[in-house]
Amino acid sequence: MTIAVGFEGSANKLGIGIVRDDGIVLANVRHTFVPPPGEGFLPRDTAKHHQQYVLSLLQQALTSASLKPADIDVICYTKGPGLGAPLVSAAVVARTVAQLWDKPMVAVNHCIGHIEMGRLITGAKDPVVLYVSGGNTQVIAYSMNKYRIFGETIDIAVGNVFDRLARVLNISNDPSPGYNIEQLAKRGTTLLELPYTVKGMDVAFTGIIGKLETLARTNKYTKEDLCFSLQETSFAMLVETTERAMAHTGATEVLIVGGVGCNKRLQEMMEVMVAERNGKLYATDERFCIDNGVMIAWAGLEMFRVGVVTPLRETWCTQRYRTDEVDVTWRD
């Protein structure tokens, strides 16, 4: 039995997870840096948050799993992509722990972590993956030992649009801007016209947030209608590009991962499209779609089982680390 611990700190959520090689999650603890309403999270402040909580979270994870350091076989950490200072804050602790405990290390791509965690939890075999978060928006499918990106945002991520609208409307960041926008959108009744920008397989969202900021300044529209219109327009764009990827690959499964993937309205809209194609939709809840340490532990464990080990001198971080850069040697 091989056991891995994973450190995730690429954005405002610090997570530590422990998982066995049979897919059993032993611990999944997380602490979120929550800035005041109307503000975003700055890398410097987020890094300080991670530094403050990482050791207590590690102890909490070990206690929850009823394990000792000697029981751990491999230390996994997020190499990137993400915010530089928070990434380094988590990676430094992972490196230190690996040396203190005399354990090997595996550097993990954050996006791959989301995909592999989604596959583990849902049982999806070979899905088209819609990866949507505050920093990423990609339509992905596996082919020839790579997760190929069929389409992506050409400007900002869809989750970034939600975050920016929350700041404009002074919506609380607790528990997250996206969750609070989702709740407001449920009470929206009027669909406002927003830019719908799909370019082949790619999407663009800056036109949407620009128009929303303009509409918000007029004070003619309710927060509920602005949030409702954002969801309906941006999610329709994502459903369209995901359907195109399904048609191209012949896939019958769709897996939604990433923090925005928790949104029930996105899941509803995607479910309609997938059902019309006689397919099946897979999604996870907030325990696993939001950034967490277990996804890093599991992806790292899959890599470790096929012989991947990251030498200490190469355990650095990078803010830019594309999904399709990783050799997926653990899949057929």
332: in domain: no
**Sequence-distant (≥ 6) Cβ neighbours of residue 126 within 8 angstroms:** 142, 251, 253
202 labelled as ligand-binding?
A: no
Consult the annotation and say whether 263 binds a ligand: yes
The answer to whether 181 and 173 are in contact (CB under 8 A) is: no
Instruction: Assess whether 162 and 93 both reside in one domain.
Output: no
Residue 214 lies in a domain: yes
Tell whether 114 is in a known binding site.
Answer: yes
My answer on whether 102 and 149 are in the same domain is no
Q: Quick one: 279 and 130 in the same domain?
A: yes
HEC string for the chain: CCEEEEEECCCCEEEEEEEECCCCEEEEEEEECCCCCCCCCCHHHHHHHHHHHHHHHHHHHHHHHCCCHHHCCEEEEEEECCCHHHHHHHHHHHHHHHHHHCCCEEEEEHHHHHHHHHHHHHCCCCCEEEEECCCCEEEEEEECCEEEEEEEECCCCHHHHHHHHHHHCCCCCCCCHHHHHHHHHCCCCCCCCCCCCEECCEECCHHHHHHHHHHHHCCCCCHHHHHHHHHHHHHHHHHHHHHHHHHHHCCCEEEEECHHHHCHHHHHHHHHHHHHCCCEEEECCHHHHCCCHHHHHHHHHHHHHCCCCCCHHHCCCCCCCCHHHCCCCCCC
Query: Does residue 169 sit in the same domain as residue 70?
Result: no
Residue 161, annotated ligand binder? no
Same-domain check for residues 301 and 180: no
- The alpha carbon torsion through 139, 143, 145, 147 (nearest 10 deg) reads 0
* Residue 135 assigned as binding residue: yes
Q: Is 248 annotated as a binding residue?
A: no
Is 15 labeled as ligand-binding?
A: no
Task: State the pLDDT at residue 332.
Answer: 80
Q: Residue 55 corresponds to which tokens in the numbers above?
A: 């050791």
Is 134 within 8 Å of 11 (Cβ atoms)?
A: yes
Q: 106 a known binding residue?
A: no
Judge whether 110 is annotated as a binding position.
Answer: yes
CATH code of the domain in which 21 resides: 3.30.420.40
pLDDT, residue 145, reads: 97
Contact 239, 270 (CB under 8 A): yes
Q: Is 172 annotated as a binding residue?
A: no
State the total domains in the chain.
2
Distance (Å, rounded) from C-alpha 332 to C-alpha 302?
A: 13
* Bridge partners (DSSP) listed for residue 282: 255
| Each residue's pLDDT expressed in tens, for the chain with a length of 332 residues | 999 999 999 999 999 999 999 999 999 999 999 999 999 999 999 999 999 999 999 999 999 999 999 999 999 999 999 999 999 999 999 999 999 999 999 999 999 999 999 999 999 999 999 999 999 999 999 999 999 999 999 999 999 999 999 999 999 999 999 999 999 999 999 999 999 999 999 999 999 999 999 999 999 999 999 999 999 999 999 999 999 999 999 999 999 999 999 999 999 999 999 999 999 999 999 999 999 999 999 999 999 999 999 999 999 999 999 999 999 999 98
- In a shared domain, residues 16 and 165: no
Residue type, 198: V
Same domain (yes/no): 96, 183: no
Domain extent for 218: 126-285
Residues 249 and 314 occupy one common structural domain: no
Q: Is residue 201 part of a domain?
A: yes
324 is in an annotated binding site: no
Structure tokens at 284: 């996870």
Q: Is 133 annotated as a binding residue?
A: yes
- What local confidence, expressed as pLDDT, does residue 257 receive? 98
